[in-house]
Amino acid sequence: MIHETAIIHPDTEIAEGVEIGAYSIVGEKVSIGAGTKIGPHVVIDSFTDIGQNCHIFQFAAIGAIPQDLKFAGNKTYVKIGKNTTIREFVTIHRGTKAGGGITVVGEENLLMAYTHIAHDCKLGKGVILSNNATLAGHILVGDYATIGGLVAIHQFTQIGDYAFIGGKSAVVKDVVPFMIAAGDRAKLHGLNSVGLKRHGFSIQTISELKKAYRIIFRIGLTLNEAFERVKADVEQIPEVVNLINFIKNSERGITR
């Protein structure tokens, strides 16, 4: 089901059940998985891999070269996981050689209208980017993170699993897993309790994460002191271990 006005490069690999709308353009070395729907006026540039059952709406632009002045025409890639929805005017750029050569959007992501994903970003599973959210280069976004509308995130920043970034925020440091961050510049505002409940986390897990949050961020301890206190006073469930390891491995520093 490819519209007669669509322009498809002969090297494109198109699986069964793919739909491509009117006036869309698909470039060289593109792969499109089974059941994916591509609306009208979509541009998919070279070296892009799109998974199964994705839905790409009109005027999206995927796989263009990065907005990096150092880019020298290297063969770099975009990879989009299955069951991902990409709404109107979304832009996703290819990676750079220095950044690993690939931009990755994980499975079951929802990228709302006008969102931008720059070179070498890597998004996990179930990520939501609300309208006009903007990711600079080299950003890592964990599984099931939600980024609100009009949010701008600084390059090389990491967003932890199940984190929630409130709308119109400017994020310049890493946001730890399971927490809410908001503001210009973003600050932590507690545990993402509503999001965790919606994703089926137990009352006990949420309670232990609240204890860890209070110890690390609310009672004035140094990080080393806080880690020792968490080790002594909080059950070492996987989510708490994830939280501590994220903080220890942060290179930009964490949002406090």
Q: Could you tell me which of 173, 168, 140, 139 has the C-alpha nearest to residue 152?
A: 168
CB atoms within 10 A of CB 57: 20
The one-letter amino acid at 145: A
Give catalytic residue positions. 119-120, 137
Q: What is the pLDDT of residue 239?
A: 98
Q: What is the pLDDT of residue 254?
A: 98
Q: What is the pLDDT of residue 88?
A: 98
Residues of the chain with pLDDT under 50: none
Helix, strand or coil, per DSSP, at residue 44? strand
pLDDT in tens, 39-92: 999 999 999 999 999 999 999 999 999 999 999 999 999 999 999 999 999 999
Q: What is the pLDDT of residue 85?
A: 99
Query: pTM above 0.95?
Result: yes
Q: Which structural domains are found in the chain, ordered by start?
A: 7-138 (2.160.10.10), 196-249 (1.20.1180.10)
Tell me the C-alpha distance between 107 and 169, whole Å: 25
